[in-house]
Structure 1
Amino acid sequence: MMLRFVSIGLWLVALGWTCSGQPDPCDVPLVTDSGHKDNFTVVDLARELYACTMIKMIERAGLGPMFREKGPFTLFAPYDLAFGFLPDDIWNKLMSNNTYLRELLLFHTVPRLIGSIDNVYNDELIETMLPGKNIRLNVYQIGKMMVGGRGAADQAMGVTGRITACGGPVIDGGNATNGEVRIISNVMHPVPPGDIMDVIDNDKQFTELKKLVYLAKLQDYLKAGGPFTFFPPNNNGVDKLSRDELKKLEHNTTLLREVLLYHLLDWTLYASGSYDGEVLVTVQGESINLTVWYDSLWVNGHTNARVVYQDYNIYNGVLHIIDKVLIPPIIWQKYN
């Protein structure tokens, strides 16, 4: 990841060179003349907004002609630094698998004009050029940004907006002759693979959680309901339960159900809409709180459950994967 940040950093340093007549930092052949506004495409606009990595990926995937010759489009283009936060395995897959890259780019593209981003409503779903996959727009009316991690990068870029696209704050944008470009501070990844149960059923990091969900008979609720924010513990998190704790949960499905619902919110909260010290009421009824500690997001204090992967997009909400099962003492005591 360090080499990727260095590469992206060089592009960002190069931004000042364009103004002094030096080579274009995006280093992509310009087909249309940005000086002629009657043929100023979304590719040209993305170039002006310095979405250099996005442009390079569009060309790499062979989608340049489509974005120049067709439309209208609304292109959600992550700023360069956002790509540096992708896990190394995802970045490598994008660079080696052109089909995977095209799918991600089409997921960032809406085949129509959205218009003013200020007119969207919370949890609005917008159909993309990837069939069956929608971008979720959220409006967060809070005055604080999450500090650390991507939050620090957002602050450095002057992000103050509360409108997000799959968790990425919309920070800039403009209009072209064949569409619109909206600059976002996150790469919208992963492309939603399905609903909560699709992920739990098929992702191997949730095999232990899957057993508990079916034992509690919550599978239909998690599949059909929403939108949700779910904090699912991975296998390592479930393995941290003591033998006695696991036995009690497996033999008392009422307790198990309450514990699992304690991991669930009945609305969509992305990391960019959260803040340090935020208190959230769960579907179970008790509250959890969020803590930012050394650039990591934690649930119920920095010695409890750490969010190991945030903003996992799904059809009916978002997942924040944690490394520990949350057991509220008041519930545990009620069944002892």
Structure 2
Amino acid sequence: MIARLILVGLAACVYGETIPELATRLGATELVKLVTDAGLAGTLSGAGPFTVFGPTNAAFSKLPKNILERLMRDKKLLADVLKYHVVSGNVYSSQLSNELTAPSLLTMNGKALDIRFNIYNNGQNASNGVIHVVDRVMFPIPFEDIPTEVTKQSARFSTLLTAVKAANLVSTLAGGPFTLFAPTNAAFAKIPADVLNKLLANVTALTDVLTYHVVSGTYWSASLSNGMMPKTVEGKAVNIKIDGGKVMVNDATVEEADLAVTNGVIHVIDTVLLPPAFDPSIY
């Protein structure tokens, strides 16, 4: 299980402050309050060193009210969630690299749960460790790799799953990390049935189409920008268009963004992407 986060904060290095003290000065007061409520203030004020990925007050405000209330009622769950934001040792921004993973303090079945880093800024020093300010609260929720997640959500991805199996790409999509722009069943239904059936029977053409939906690396929605043209595994680029909160990939609209998987991220789209100059009618 691996969570993703975006580093958003930057402050001057100040020595002599513990992690809770520095978090308070940085304005992460909700984090400090919850750390205290969970009985972790003493630990995070101790010798350490620790690296904390500290959600801002705004990050906590994004949580549904019922989730926050449950965390307040269940101190063990609260402590587990907070531990999932902490790594042992001093991990400075200069040591972080995109797609790096590191074990958190939270363990499950005797194994530390990993955090995956997708980086957009830097962190701060404390006397007993380092704080990186992040824009979301991370939850240690079990999730799967891309093929398993597509299989679990077969109600909307059954055609995609059939295509991936027909093209023998299941093991490939279990690698990565990848970003998958995943067409729904409704997206595939836009293709005439006879053309789709011929495409599914042509492994070479099908592989070209499917790999045109895959980009190497993890591109969360926050890392996408208008006019961006990431190169796909097929070899050609897709065009990202963002206007008024609407995100498009070529002519496909993103219906749901940022589905977390262990080896990347999935964005759900409403239209099948076809490589430039690709003519499905000939199949």
TM exceeds 0.5?
yes
* 1:104–1:231 distance in 2 versus 1, CA, 3 Å: farther
In the other structure, the counterpart of 1:214 is: 165
Q: How far apart are residue 74 of structure 1 and its match?
A: 0.7
* Displacement after TM superposition at 1:290 (Å): 0.4
Cα distance in structure 1, aligned partners of 2:126 and 2:171: 44
How many percent of aligned residue pairs carry the same amino acid? 32
Render the CA deviation track for 1:23-48: whole Å, top value 9, x for unaligned: xxxxxxxxxxxxxx75x431221111
Q: 1:100 & 1:228 partners in 2: Cα distance?
A: 30
Q: TM-score, normalised by structure 1?
A: 0.66
Structure 1 residue 132: Cα displacement: 4.6
Q: Residues of 1 paired with 2:190 and 2:116: CA distance?
A: 33
2:212 touches 2:232 (CA, 8 Å); kept in 1?
Answer: yes
Checking the alignment, whether the CA contact within 8 Å between 2:157 and 2:183 is kept in structure 1 is: no
Secondary structure, counterpart of 1:213 in structure 2: helix
Q: Does 2:248 align with 1:272?
A: no
Change (3 A) 1:85 1:241: farther
1:127 aligns with 2:74: no
The one-letter code matched in structure 1 to 2:172 is Y
Residues 185 and 288 (structure 1), Cα distance of their counterparts in 2 relative to 1, 3 Å cut: same
Q: Which amino acid aligns with 1:183?
A: V
Q: Report the equivalent of 1:48.
A: 25
Deviates more, 1:241-250 or 1:286-295: 241-250
How far the C-alpha of 1:239 sits from its partner, in A, is: 4.9
Instruction: Report 1 or 2 for greater relative contact order, CA contacts < 8 Å, sequence distance ≥ 6.
Output: 2
Q: CA deviation at 1:129?
A: 1.9
**1:25 match:** none
Task: Name stretches of at least 5 consecutive residues in structure 2 with no aligned partner.
Answer: 1-14
Q: Aligned residues, how many? A: 261
Runs of 5+ unmatched residues, structure 1: 1-36, 139-163
Alpha-carbon distance between aligned partners in 1 of 2:61 and 2:257, rounded to the nearest angstrom: 15
More helix by share: 1
Distance 1:335 1:111, change over 3 A: farther
Deviation of the 1:263 alpha carbon? 0.8
Q: Does 1:106 align with 2:83?
A: yes
Check the 8 A contact 1:125/1:136 in 2, yes or no.
yes
Match of 1:4 in 2: none
Q: Separation in 2 of the partners of 1:214 and 1:94?
A: 40
Q: 1:331 aligns with which of 259, 266, 278?
A: 278
CA distance in 1, matches of 2:191, 2:62: 31
TM-score by length of 2: 0.77
